Amino acid sequence: LEFETWKVKYGKTGKTYPSTVEEAKRKEIWLATRKMVTEHNKRAENGLESFTMGVNHFADLVWVCFQSH
């Protein structure tokens, strides 16, 4: 899943941000989240984790922003 595809999939009409700077920050967060999920799921495939994870509509938020939703 790529960032642009994710924005369309999880936004009602596509995720939008107030500025290109904000979008760049959110993309970096999303990339880090995707990496964490991918690494976790590889460990799960090897029996080192008991569950798998996925990327959802909160993947572009840091924990503080997520808590406010």
CATH number where 14 lies: 1.10.287
**What would the two tokens of residue 23 be?**
């979008």
Instruction: Please report the pLDDT score of residue 64 as a whole number.
Output: 63
Instruction: Please report the pLDDT score of residue 42 as a whole number.
Output: 98
Beta strands in the chain (DSSP E): none
Count of domains in the chain?
1
> What does the alpha-carbon distance between residue 4 and residue 42 come to, in Å, rounded to a whole number?
24
For residue 41, the tally of other CB atoms under 10 A from its CB is 15
* Amino acid (one-letter) located at 44: A
pLDDT along the chain (69 residues), means of 10: 85 81 94 96 98 93 72
Residue 29: domain span:
3-67
Instruction: Please report the pLDDT score of residue 43 as a whole number.
Output: 98
Instruction: Please report the pLDDT score of residue 63 as a whole number.
Output: 76
